Each structure stands twice: as structure tokens, then as C-alpha cells.
Amino acid sequence: MTAEVDDQLWSAVGDPSRRRVLDLLVSNGEVSASWLAGHVPFSRQAVSKHLVVLEEAGLVTRRKQGKEVLYQVDARRLDQATHLMADLAARWDRRLATIKRIAEAAHAEAKKRR
């Protein structure tokens, strides 16, 4: 994945409203934007804007059924996103562990000097 694609993903899932839309799609499968709007505390127009961002990040797909457009989570992309987030969390865990070791060593050294 490129940094631009990653940035698009982080931006998409970084918004609590979009995460709520994703949660609803994961829980309920394929639904319309109108259905989603009936289950969130924001407007149908806001739902549509969030769906566009999620679709551009590859997290959501859509298909037309008659006059209605139905949205669903792209499970493959969501799985990729989950792995990316787990990898990022592991890298931060390692960084924080290093910072902790450095801080503890500095504290121990300062304690010796006293």
C-alpha cells in the first residue's frame, strides 16, 4: 500500500461518524443510505458524504437495485485495514517500550547521582 492509500484509510476510519456507519454495515449487511440515516444521529446528506469517503478508501462497495443504491462493507479491504492497524499498534508499542526503557534508565542514573 502507498502512503496516500494509507492516509485515505486513516482519514476514513478516523471519524467517529464514519466508524458508526461502518459498524452498522458490518452488523446489518447490505443496506441503503436512507436506512443508515434512520439509525444514526445525523442527516441523510451526511450519511451520503460519509459513504463516499468510505467508498473512496475501499471500505465500502455499492450496487444499484432498482432505484435504490445498497452499500456493504468490503470484507477483504476491512481485513486489510485491520491488519494495517494491528501492525501500526505493534510499531507504536515497540516505540513506547523503547521510550519507557530510556526514561527508566535516565531515572535510575539520576537516582544514583543523588
Task: Please give the share of the chain, as a percent, with pLDDT higher than 70.
Answer: 96
What span, in angstroms and rounded, lies between the C-alpha atoms of 49 and 42? 11
Q: Look at residue 2 in the predicted model and tell me its pLDDT.
A: 60
- CA dist 29 → 11, 47, 54, 112 (Å): 23, 16, 15, 61
pLDDT confidence bin for 82, thresholds 50/70/90:
confident
Q: SS3 helix, strand, coil % of the chain, rounded to 5?
A: 70, 10, 15
Q: What is the pLDDT of residues 36-70, one digit of tens each?
A: 999 999 999 999 999 999 999 999 999 999 999 99
Domain positions in the chain: 3-113
> Residue 113 above 70 pLDDT?
yes
| In CATH, 3-113 is 1.10.10.10 | yes
